[in-house]
Structure 1
Amino acid sequence: MGFHRILVQLTWVGVISSVMVAATDTQFPSALPNCPDRCGELEIPYPFGLTEDCYLNGTNGSTEFLIACGNKFGIPEPKIGDFLVTNISVQEGQIEIMMDNDIDCYYKNGTPQSNVMRKRSLTNPIFTISHTKNKFVSVGCDTYAYLKGFRNDKRFSSVCLSVCDSKSDVVNGSCSGIGCCQTNIPEGLKNITVEANSLSNHEFVWEFNPCGYAFIIREDKFNFSSAYLNTLRNNKTLPVVLDWTIDSEKCDLARNKSDYICGGNSTCVNSTYGSGYRCKCNDGYRGNPYLDHGCQDIDECKVKDNNNCTSKQKCVNKPGSYDCLCIEAYHMDVSERVCVPDRSAGQSSLAIYLAVGLFSLLVLLLGYSWIYWGLKRRKLIKLKEKFFQQNGGLLLKQRLSNHQMSVETTKIFTTEELKKATNNCNESRVLGQGGYGTVYKGVLSDNTMVAIKKSKIGDQSQIEQFINEMIVLTQINHRNVVKLFGCCLETEVPLLVYEFITNGTLSNHIHDKSLSSLLSWEKRLKIATETAGALAYLHSSASMPIIHRDVKTTNILLDDNYTAKVADFGASRLVPLDQTQLNTLVQGTLGYLDPEYMQTSQLTEKSDVYSFGVVMAELLTGKKALSFDRPEIDRNLAISFVSAIKEDRLLQILEDNIVNEVKIEQLKEVANLAKGCLSLRGEDRPSMKEVAAELERLRIMEKHSLGNIDVYAKKTEHLLSATSHSFNVDVDIGCSASTTVEYDSIGDQVLKSVEDGR
């Protein structure tokens, strides 16, 4: 034990001498004196520490117990080595970290995809994998996984095989080798690595399972689902529980060494497997046993459940324990070990006891209801505070502060208001369900119709989506974006309250035969123009640029006048003014996802342009973005749409009812604009501002009578020739020769019509 450690102990003795012997939970010390004990929300107890001289130095000054408190996107991030730390327990001698999911992916032809993830081994000598809290898992239909490490200084390896022929073979919740394999982990396993491999490069299962996965995970955090065959590639790390010990010697030897760490009122406990020891507070004491005076006496008398004294006894606390002494007029019967009445006082006190008892009963009856409702109200307040923090209230405040916004800009609804509005979330009020939760129809007390979005229960990853949507919507003020009225964080899951859009989704109107016949070309062009204008506003005119990241027909709502409202910003991202792209986990909806974004993970505004191009193709053809009911060559609408234009087959794929009501030249112009949006390279696509301007021009032309078309065309030609910046879209729709149409990107009159949508 070094000189500095001795000084710290002497200082700590001085501090403890001023503290009461009986301490409450909140008084228990965690870190060494004058040392930080938190990194963000995570408590860092000694022997772990954040700075020099605040953690336990290992052999030769090694830093096994050092926690590095980094900062990611303004949020503190505690790490030990390369691994994120989520919990530390000195009572159980365990630490929870986020370990790598080894992902083994292939292309359709069986060629391995390059693995950009670095395989990180857990080599810290103080850690062993908890065999009681974790499982080793392999997921995939063509996958075998290795678990490698050392046990008793000898090499150890285990393999887990998971196979299946089709997705229908897989049973949710079952991990017995069909799509998922799960095995126990032996005691004392150290220095581990995991590795996923394929039997046949996933060639025969690629359509539903292009990747295999190998990982260790905390057992109570994993319940297998067939969806994991695809979605686990998005989970780069998973929670794992590790056991940790002090030194490499058992208690008998460690107690006689100068660097023995167990403090006062604590006991040394040998590691159940392998070397090392850990410390535990004695019965009747609580706190951090690794500090000299960390284990402090608890007052068992303050909480009835902590002692077994009867009604005829009074509890008297003492160091490490308590005594039950008989109350006045009672004495202890030694043979029976119970308190019995004193003989002399028994008869004379009977009348008094009866009178006091009756009076007490009356007081209890009168005060019971007041006490009951008071406690219930207090419990409800604490529960609401718990839900507020659980639902990201602190994170919301922090991010609002980072963006210099105020939570008062939206209304904070109470639980009672929203229960009444939705008839206690009655199933008859459900409007729809999606990846981020359930949407209910509600009626507020002032008869305002609202849509109330309820996040998924128990899915902590959805809290980030909820807070993100809240932050994004506070940045938006546009008539074609669904309006946020407020939120509620007091419930078990968070709620967002929006304006109610009466006419359903654009997807319903396109793909429902009874509704699509009512969706005229004029309405379709209006919807496309308004949606483009809203996206252009998000990209170019919001206080901070916003990328929606999930543009699709189900996220475009319509009111009774067929006015478009862009919705669902759970996946959206704010773009700092000094950046043009963001590196993110790929997220979105298949069929609408930008191919360039899928390959590079670099999110740009042009990713929304691609998705909007798919929406335009749906409006023109009436087909779904992705359908396995169509022939393989036509399953992806974006690919088949572009091919049809290049092969002079546009008229064959257009919706019949719009071909008959509008001039084909205008349909060709819109089709070629959609083709430009669907360019494989983002730099070849127009901006949303340019797309919105061109659609506004086409819409104005469509509104003009035949007699005014030539006049307007001349005015438009004059406006287009006066611009300083333009973009070209190749027109290849079956004409005898391709032509190039130059679209004005910033023409004052057309752009003014777009920006008037704010």
Structure 2
Amino acid sequence: MHPLLASGKLDLQFLHDPIMAQPGCDLMCGDVEIPYPFGMKDPKCYAEEWFQVECKSNHTPYLKLINLEVTAIDVNISTVEVKNPVFHRKCHDGGKDSSLSRPKPTIEDPAGISLRGSPFVYSNKRNTFVAFGCNILGFLHSNRSVVAGCVSVCGPKEFTRLKKSVASGKKVNLGCHGKFCCVASIPSYLSEYEVTMEDIRNGSIAPGCDDYALIAKKWRKELTWMVNQKESELKKNVSHYAHAVLEFEILNWFNIEATNAECLKTNVTSSKMENSGWRCKCRVGFHGNPYIAGGCVVIRDRWYHSEGTPTKELMVGLLSSLGSIILLLGLRWLYEVERKRIAKKSRESFFKKNGGVLLEKVLSSSEGSFDKFKLFSLKELEKATNHFNVNRILGNGGEGTVYKGMLLDGKIVAVKKFKVQGKIEQFINEFVILSQIDHRNVVKLLGCCLETEIPLLVYEFIPNGTLFQYLHDQDAYLPMTWEMRLKIAIEVAGALFYLHSAASKPIYHRDIKSTNILLDEKYNAKVADFGTSKMIAIEDTHLTTIVKGTFGYLDPEYFHTSQFTDKSDVYSFGVVLVELLTGQKPVSFVAPDEAQNLASYFILCMEEKRVFDIIDKRIMWEGRRKHINAVAKLAKRCLDLKGIKRPSMKEVSMQLYGIWELQRNSRA
């Protein structure tokens, strides 16, 4: 609707109604409008087969080729709202003896959706992935890889109380923060997906196995519906649908006859091409349907004589409008002045609140290890990152987002912006730890900005991405050699040895993984992301905390006891070492069952004396078996289920360096 219509300042009789469908074609199916390029029945009514809508006997529209019910179409923003399946995991008895067997969870078919080859993708801006259940891992797969996932936890008693409340008719309102329910963002270009759900701990049973997963637009509403159904009603509604939003583009260009419209190249459905299709919109001052002749219209008729000359009423209106525009411009100027004043005051307030005055004194006196540390202004970092543009994002983590920036002197930096809903303790933790570290294989902290609610950290920019990217998306012209892998392992082990034993106070990293190991211009390793790290007293032997970490790298002993030790970092490093040896990902849901967890599969292969079957073929070709076997044995020790049996990082570092020396001498 035109903004003047929405405001009530313009009568509908003075507006040309835009043409939304081709001549002779139906526009409505039930209560849903079907504008061109969508259409029904006759091929002339739609642009191509993908846009064909079938209006079924109950006056319900469906996208015919992908069989999804349509609830709304908006050609102005190129979206289609559909009813998307909710996948319900049921439990079937795995045996007669309930004391020895456990229900086997399954997902009713279909367990996924495919839009492959179509002009439609699931909108990552307007949708979210949701999993609902008790002690489950919900995973979203696409193209045989995990693209999103989350964990939902609760105790059996909590779940029982929830079910009793629902059974008694009470309405239950849940947030979705990891208890009973969890959410995750979906990636761009998502044209197909499958859903899987697993129990979070082996041997435990999710009470009732009432687990659900879905991609939805308004997930809170859908979740409330599911929670407040009785179990008997849920079983009758396995095929319940949630509203989701698809984005579309025109894949096969056709002649757009609309005037007052503009069409631009887009890449909505593919990241591999500069443009994979087209999108159209009405020009400024027009509205309607940009894909059809007469679709974009403007308001004009009332204010002209039949011979085309302006009326007196129009002249009075123009003068009144001119006065209103001048008034609005004046008010806008005053608003901008006031906005800048408030923003400046807010920056000054945050600066003082975050300890900026004290830090300035420390920097001016050059005390401690702050000789090259700098306080950045928010304006400086906004200009460096193009106002934190999404195109500058280097990576997203649990604590925040990292952006690439260029300072006024041309220096490239990485700027970490913590999540707004996070705590300032996360910033303080990483700031304090990194300010104490001076090691060539740990990413360097250059400075910070204290003019925001959660301060920003500025690091040296590491240009060659992460070890994970380099291992699993290898460049054919610059493959990862055995020598490079061994060198990286030695550098990371040395950095962890420094953190555990040589820093002023022992530091536990707590999230060692290949995505937190960066590679500089010479492919030297740099350990990064200290948001969850902890500095402990020298006399302490462990740290008792809520379990945090990454699935596949997490120390099983820490998971069961909540006690993190230096040997927990050793376990995570052991997984990275196995990644370097095998070239395989730590978790793979497309692999056979026994090989889905890399660490467990590696230990199995070592015990069965067939470890060379899973070693990367390039390593087998370049390295000597005795050196490879020595590294494999060290990795096996790091992955021991009992932390006390694992070597220290000092021992790991020394053994890796010894293998390196043996290799060099054997070539001399």
TM superposition score normalised by structure 1 = 0.45
1:534 to 481, 490, 495: 495
Gaps of 5+ in 2: 1-132, 138-152, 162-170, 182-206, 233-330
Report how far residue 175 of structure 1 moved: 4.5
Letter in 2 for 1:380: A
**Residue of structure 1 equivalent to 2:378:** 415
- What fraction of aligned residue pairs are identical, expressed as a percent? 48
1:500 aligns with 2:500: no
Deviations 1:581-640 (A, max 9, x none): 111111110000000000011011111000000000000000001111111211110000
Report how far residue 444 of structure 1 moved: 1.5
1:611 to 572, 576, 581: 572
State how 1:311-710 maps to structure 2 within 5 Å: 378-388=341-351, 410-456=373-419, 458-461=420-423, 463-491=424-452, 493-514=454-475, 518-706=479-667
State how 1:102-181 maps to structure 2 within 5 Å: 136-137=173-174, 164-168=210-214, 173-176=219-222, 181=227
8 Å Cα contact 1:138-1:181 kept in structure 2: no
Structure 2 counterpart SS, 1:441: strand
Aligned residues: 385
Structure 2 counterpart SS, 1:613: helix
Q: Distance in 1 between matches of 2:180 and 2:404?
A: 45
Q: Distance in 2 between matches of 1:583 and 1:670?
A: 31
Report how far residue 427 of structure 1 moved: 2.8
Cα 1:656–1:117 shift into 2, 3 Å? same
Q: Distance in 2 between matches of 1:469 and 1:376?
A: 32
Cα 1:516–1:135 shift into 2, 3 Å? farther
Q: Distance in 2 between matches of 1:381 and 1:114?
A: 45
Report how far residue 578 of structure 1 moved: 2.2
Q: Distance in 2 between matches of 1:475 and 1:538?
A: 10
Q: Distance in 2 between matches of 1:396 and 1:671?
A: 47
State how 1:115-264 maps to structure 2 within 5 Å: 136-137=173-174, 164-168=210-214, 173-176=219-222, 181=227
8 Å Cα contact 1:141-1:164 kept in structure 2: no
**Residue of structure 2 equivalent to 1:73:** none
Report how far residue 480 of structure 1 moved: 0.2
Q: Distance in 2 between matches of 1:594 and 1:516?
A: 36
Deviations 1:387-417 (A, max 9, x none): 44787979999xx9xxx97878731100121
Deviations 1:644-676 (A, max 9, x none): 111111111000011001111000000000000
8 Å Cα contact 1:591-1:625 kept in structure 2: yes
8 Å Cα contact 2:590-2:596 kept in structure 1: yes
Letter in 1 for 2:490: T
8 Å Cα contact 2:546-2:562 kept in structure 1: yes
Cα 1:671–1:422 shift into 2, 3 Å? same
8 Å Cα contact 1:396-1:467 kept in structure 2: no
8 Å Cα contact 1:138-1:182 kept in structure 2: no
Structure 2 counterpart SS, 1:452: strand
Q: Distance in 2 between matches of 1:171 and 1:425?
A: 26
8 Å Cα contact 2:605-2:611 kept in structure 1: yes
Report how far residue 501 of structure 1 moved: 0.7
Report how far residue 556 of structure 1 moved: 0.3
Q: Distance in 2 between matches of 1:551 and 1:621?
A: 18
Q: Distance in 1 between matches of 2:533 and 2:383?
A: 30
Report how far residue 554 of structure 1 moved: 0.5
Q: Distance in 1 between matches of 2:381 and 2:601?
A: 45
Q: Distance in 1 between matches of 2:134 and 2:564?
A: 24
Letter in 2 for 1:694: Q
Structure 2 counterpart SS, 1:474: helix
Letter in 2 for 1:597: Y
Cα 1:165–1:604 shift into 2, 3 Å? closer
**Residue of structure 2 equivalent to 1:309:** none
Q: Distance in 1 between matches of 2:526 and 2:595?
A: 29
Report how far residue 492 of structure 1 moved: 5.4
**Residue of structure 2 equivalent to 1:250:** none
Cα 1:443–1:534 shift into 2, 3 Å? same
Letter in 1 for 2:410: N
State how 1:30-109 maps to structure 2 within 5 Å: none
Deviations 1:519-578 (A, max 9, x none): 111100000000000000000001111000000000000112110000011110111122
8 Å Cα contact 1:535-1:688 kept in structure 2: yes
Structure 2 counterpart SS, 1:420: helix
Structure 1 counterpart SS, 2:431: helix
Report how far residue 705 of structure 1 moved: 4.3
RCO greater where, 1 or 2, for CA within 8 Å and sep 6 or more?
A: 2
